[in-house]
Structure 1
Amino acid sequence: MKNPGFVLSIIVLALAFSSALAYDPDPLQDFCVAIDEPKNAVFVNGKFCKNPKLVNTNDFFLSGLNIPGNTSNPIGSTVTPVFVDQLPGLNTMGISMVRIDYGINGLNPPHTHPRATEILHLLEGILYVGFVNSNPENRLFAKVLKPGEVFVFPKGMIHFQLNIGKTNAVAIAALSSQNPGIITIANALFNSKPPIYPNVLAKAFQLDGLVVEGLQKKFWYDNLDLSPKRQ
């Protein structure tokens, strides 16, 4: 190799470029308030941008996170999102957040965010939280959190939270994307539409095919609350 330094530079630039593509792009203007109506708008980063002259303070404002989520459901938790669809002013900003309410023994089931790292701050209660890193190690990183403590879930890692206290729990989490995406593992695999061929799941989980078919017929609850709270 006549010029290893040049090759190394190309590799570094390629890695930097691929890393940059993995995150929400930096904004190239002051703001780009999302709008569904394309009239008097421009299309940026998956959303139409509201005409800047029509933007107002309420485009950057959301109320309702003080309202507890309903935890009387099969998994005992509710996630209240503040993504770009709930707060249009987040468009192109590369951030979002959620409120998570947990009933006693409530679980935010194993899931991933394909487009975001998450940092969780526990406000009330006691949570057992953790994530698993990638193959072949599949190492569990887990911790019991008390109020005021923080835990980070790296981008794309399968993670969870379980209320192990004797009272309800509440957490606030921030994410490094305006639209982080949520893939709940059990729901995605056993409640896909159309269903995954049972033999695939039977071999993957080393289960009897009838067990898989039974799981595919179950009701799989989604704890993400998308009801409008914007005022």
Structure 2
Amino acid sequence: MATPFTLFLLAAALSPTVFSFEPAPLQDFCVAETSNQGSVRVNGMACKNPLFVQADDFFYSGLHVAGDTGNSYGFRVTPVTVYQVPGLNTLGLSMMRIDYALWGANPPHTHPRATEIFTVLEGTLQVGFITSDPQNRLITKVLQRGDVFVFPVGLVHFQRNMGHSNATAIAALSSQNPGVISITNSIFGSTPPISTEILAQTFGVDNKTVHLLKKKSTHV
């Protein structure tokens, strides 16, 4: 029979898994109180009084509208997170529409708090993610309309339009606020900036190249 101490060790070992995702809600809903954004929040936002909750707190209109892809990468994300739909607060999910110009790309990035399930609505997209150290394997596939692909939580991933027309996809994510870390912008566009010498040594390039990449990262 397991002793209390053994059960304690087991619980301690499992706790990182148990608490690594957003907790289940303890009520029907907890609509975010968006008028009090300055308050301190822990894993969510303060709840609006349920008596004042309306249908619009659970509603968003706009995913039928194509995003403006006129930027240097040729893609645009239209998010639907807790910031667009306050009723998502504590429910642990969100979604987004991604539009791609011809040869447009959503460059390598991560969502630190969410797994993403990705569905192609129109076009042909190459997608992929990279496994963690030490393997660093590239898992990649070309998707057509109606195809689905999964990007595991926290892993670097990307998409690129490989077709002969614009492309559109929609994605669901396992967090109300999945976050996004753009690899290039995080490294070369941080505030304050990482020193040029560190970046030059890390990537095996000269200082001039680092300065150029820093400049480009501020004009995405």
Q: Which residue of 1 aligns with 2:118?
A: 120
The alignment's TM-score, normalised by the length of structure 1, stands at 0.88
Q: Secondary structure at the match of 2:185?
A: helix
Residue in 2 aligned with 1:53?
Answer: 51
Structure 1 stretches of 4+ with a deviation exceeding 4 A read 3-11, 41-44
Change (3 A) 1:48 1:140: same
Amino acid at match of 2:209: V
Residue 216 of structure 1 pairs with residue 214 of structure 2: yes
1:142 maps to what in 2? 140
Q: State the one-letter code of the partner of 2:194.
A: I
Aligned to 2:174: 176
Deviation at 1:10, TM superposition (A): 4.3
1:66 alignment partner in structure 2: 64
Asked if the contact 1:42–1:50 (Cα under 8 Å) also holds between the matched residues in 2, the reply is: no
Deviation at 1:215, TM superposition (A): 1.2
Among all aligned residue pairs of Structure 1 and Structure 2, give the percentage whose two residues are the same amino acid: 53
Q: 1:81 to 1:15 in 2, by over 3 A?
A: farther
1:154 counterpart = 2:152: yes
For residue 53 of structure 2, what is the amino acid of its counterpart? V
Q: Deviation digits for residues 199-224 of structure 1, max 9, x if unmatched?
A: 111121111122112211224455xx
Partner deviation per Cα, 1:18-65 (whole Å, 9 max, x = no partner): 112221111011100011234xx9977431211000001111111010
Whole-Å Cα distance in 2 between the matches of residues 71 and 125 of structure 1? 15
Amino acid at match of 1:78: R
How many residues are matched? 218
CA displacement, residues 110-134 of structure 1 (integer Å, 9 cap, x when unaligned): 0000000001001100000000010
Structure 2 counterpart of 1:30: 28
The residue number in structure 2 matching 1:227 is none
**1:229 counterpart residue number:** none
- Structure 1: 5+ residue stretches without partners: 223-231
| Structure 2 contact 44–90 (Cα < 8 Å) conserved | no
- Structure 1 residue identity aligned to 2:148: V
Q: Is this contact kept in 2: 1:43–1:49, CA < 8 A?
A: no
Q: Given that residues 188 and 217 in structure 2 are in contact (C-alpha distance below 8 angstroms), is that contact kept between their aligned partners in structure 1?
A: no
Greater shift in the superposed pair: 193-202 or 114-123: 193-202
Structure 1 position 186 matched with structure 2 position 188 = no
Q: d(CA) in 2 for partners of 1:185 and 1:42?
A: 28
Between 79-88 and 213-222, report the one with greater CA deviation. 213-222
- What whole-Å deviation, never above 9, does each CA across 1:171-217 have from its counterpart, x for those lacking one? 00000000001000001111111110111111211111221122112
Deviates more, 1:10-19 or 1:115-124: 10-19
* Structure 1 residue 16, shift from structure 2 partner: 2.5
Report the secondary structure of 1:218's partner residue: helix
Taking the aligned partners of 1:220 and 1:90, their CA distance within structure 2 comes to 32
Task: Tell me which residue corresponds to 2:12.
Answer: 14
Comparing 165-174 with 197-206, greater Cα deviation is found at 197-206
Q: Which residue among 75, 91, 94 is the counterpart of 1:93? A: 91
